Structure 1
Amino acid sequence: MGSPPQWARQDGFGIRAEWGRTGAAVLGPGAGCLVVIDVLSFTTSVSVATAAGTAVFPYRWRDASARAFATENAADLAVGRQEAGPWSLSPAAIRRAPFTPRLVLPSPNGSTIAAAVEGTPVVAACLRNVSAVADWLLAQHWGTPDRPIAIIPAGEHWPGADTVRPALEDWLGAGALAAALIDRGLATPSPEARAAAATFDATADVAATITECASGRELAAIGFADDVAIAIERDADATVPVLTDNAFTNNAFVDRRIR
């Protein structure tokens, strides 16, 4: 897209939130960090894989170029969730699969956003690692108006259309992170970030809500209820997947600060 209008940037706030690829393009430039949230299932898959020691390469397309990209990076290639293969865009499949040190993980939503961001540190967050990510972001001294944290709920796409469907599970994931940052003392969230946090705080049973929402029902209907069960395990991982040299690796125990 061209230069985004000034009103869309949420200037003056330390925590910002906007949807999808376009939101990342608007908020990413000038941010201290961009956090991608795709609860069902890209960032949950990244959290599970990096917790096991795998470096995850996001890739925009699941086509012949993905195979070439995997070869160039000496990595295994994940297939679609319903395709045959040991690794796929399924947290449960990744957990069951043999260990691989390097994995290319294409997806139309979270992976596409992560792979498209340039010049800004990118972190993959989900319910499984939200507290670890919040602690790590604060350790970098991000979340101020001049070094804001841009939270990007990925959303889904309507079948057969390149139209973003705002997905409740990603809004709750964004709200969980915004709420965690606010609870840790960051006092300048944008109205969008405050609204996400308020939605999360007001949801009595986040796990049940995600299980019963449209995306959770979709996965259960095609035989992937286990993916939903893994995704709703809050703070089950201590991972902080940071995109470094084109791959997400776990930076949870790295003391140095990214500059």
Structure 2
Amino acid sequence: MGDWFLQAGHGVRFEWGPAGAALLAKDTACLVVVDVLSFTTSVTVAVESGIRVFPYRWRDETAAVFADRVGARLAVGRSKATGTSPWSLSPAALQRAPFTPRLVLPSPNGSTIAAAAGDSPVVAGSLRNSTAVGRWLADRGYGTAERPAVVVAAGERWPDGSLRPALEDLLGAGAVIAALRRCGRDQLSPEAAMAAAAFHGVKDVGVAVADCASGRELIEWGYADDVAIATELDASEAVPVLTGGAFSVPE
């Protein structure tokens, strides 16, 4: 594919999904992954309490092997959480669960995007910490043509495995991009500018996410608390950065 797909020359760029992340990661100084319901929201909630979060691509038997290798607890699917294994991809469950210093959080989309960045820094962005992420990036010189920041909305999957662009991730990415712009990073690609415009165009993010396809799905399954936590705009100052294979808040 041609270099024009890299959105070259722009300091702040926006793309969708693991494939988009893998392509734009070739020309980025920092990658921001946004998976609002629920990977990056869960990461933010976990690191707020001091947990180091190890992303992992697969929720299968290899995840347990990986967790043993890094000496961490393994998060399970929402519906599989128990009293002895209370950690899951549910932000609400993570807020209730007892402290564990290390947690493996399987997520095919979010973890795959994080892995695409290679040696570039990776930040977990969400609606909960969008302003903090934008400030962190700008303070470290990211978001210029010389040191571009790529914001990747994870999206969801259709039954055939293809990418389903998800409103909640568009709004989360747009919130991070809007925060970067407020910090003086105005070299936005048209794609990034449209994501920011989508965020600014929504009067009530909580209402919009609760009524979109992904939000309605979680609410119907009984996880309305997860949607509520994910849409607490700028409730967190935590900026999870992937270091040594795990997300944590830099000291």
TM-score normalised by L of structure 2: 0.97
Residue 24 in 1 paired to residue 21 in 2? Answer: yes
**Residue in 1 that maps onto 2:64:** 67
* Structure 2: runs of 5+ lacking an equivalent: none
Q: CA offsets per residue over residues 114-136 of structure 1, 9 Å max, x none?
A: 13431211000101111111111
Q: What is the alpha-carbon distance in structure 1 between the residues aligned to residue 109 and residue 23 of structure 2?
A: 16
Specify the alignment match of 1:180 in structure 2.
179
Separation of aligned partners in 2, 1:115 and 1:106: 13
CA contact (8 A) 2:67 2:73 kept: yes
* Counterpart position of 1:202: 201
- Counterpart check, 1:46 vs 2:19: no
Q: How far is the alpha carbon of 1:207 from its aligned partner?
A: 1.2
Q: For 1:178 and 1:113, how far apart are their aligned partners in 2?
A: 18
Amino acid at match of 1:60: R
Aligned position for 1:114: 114
Report deviation, 1:112.
Answer: 2.2
Q: Secondary structure at the match of 2:241?
A: strand
Unmatched runs of 5 consecutive residues or more in structure 1: 255-259
Q: CA deviation at 1:95?
A: 0.7
Partner Cα separation in structure 1 for residue 16 and residue 151 of structure 2: 8
Alignment correspondent of 1:245: 244
Letter in 1 for 2:130: V
Q: Secondary structure at the match of 1:218?
A: helix
The alignment covers a number of residue pairs equal to 248
Q: Which amino acid aligns with 2:237?
A: A
Q: Quick one: percent identity of the two aligned structures?
A: 58
- Could you say what secondary structure the match of 2:128 adopts? helix
The 5 A counterparts of 1:52-91 are 52-84=49-81, 85-91=85-91
Contact 2:51 2:248 in 1 (8 A): yes
Contact 1:17 1:152 in 2 (8 A): yes
Once the two structures are superposed, residues 76-117 of structure 1 have per-residue CA deviations (whole angstroms, 9 ceiling, x without a partner) of 000111113310110011111110000000012112211343
1:59 counterpart letter in structure 2:
Y
Residue aligning to 1:157: 157
Return the TM-score normalized by structure 1. 0.94
Structure 1 residue 129 corresponds to structure 2 residue 158:
no
Q: Which residue of 2 aligns with 1:143?
A: 143
Cα distance in 2 between the residues matched to 1:7 and 1:141: 24
Distance in 2, matches of 1:103 and 1:112, equals 17
Residue in 2 that maps onto 1:233: 232
* Displacement after TM superposition at 1:32 (Å): 1.1
Runs (4+) of structure 1 moved beyond 3 Å? none
- Find the aligned partners of 2:182 and 2:56 in 1 and give their Cα distance: 34
One-letter identity of the residue aligned with 1:244: T
Q: Distance in 1 between matches of 2:225 and 2:111?
A: 21
- Distance, in Å, in 1 between the alignment partners of 2:122 and 2:186 is 22
Q: Confirm or deny: 8 A CA contact 1:44 1:91 kept in the other structure.
A: yes
Q: Report the AA paired with residue 69 of structure 2.
A: E
Deviations 1:211-231 (A, max 9, x none): 110000000011111100000
Q: Is the 8 A contact 2:78 2:89 kept in 1?
A: yes
- Aligned-partner SS, 1:128: coil
Q: Give, in whole Å, the separation in 2 of the partners of 1:183 and 1:138.
A: 10
TM superposition shift of 1:175: 0.6
Q: Are the counterparts in 1 of residues 174 and 197 from structure 2 also a CA contact under 8 Å?
A: yes
CA distance in 1, matches of 2:140, 2:9: 19
Measured in 1, the distance between the counterparts of 2:90 and 2:222 equals 11
- The match for 1:257 is none
1:213 corresponds in structure 2 to: 212
Counterpart of 1:83 in structure 2: which amino acid? K
One-letter identity of the residue aligned with 1:120: S
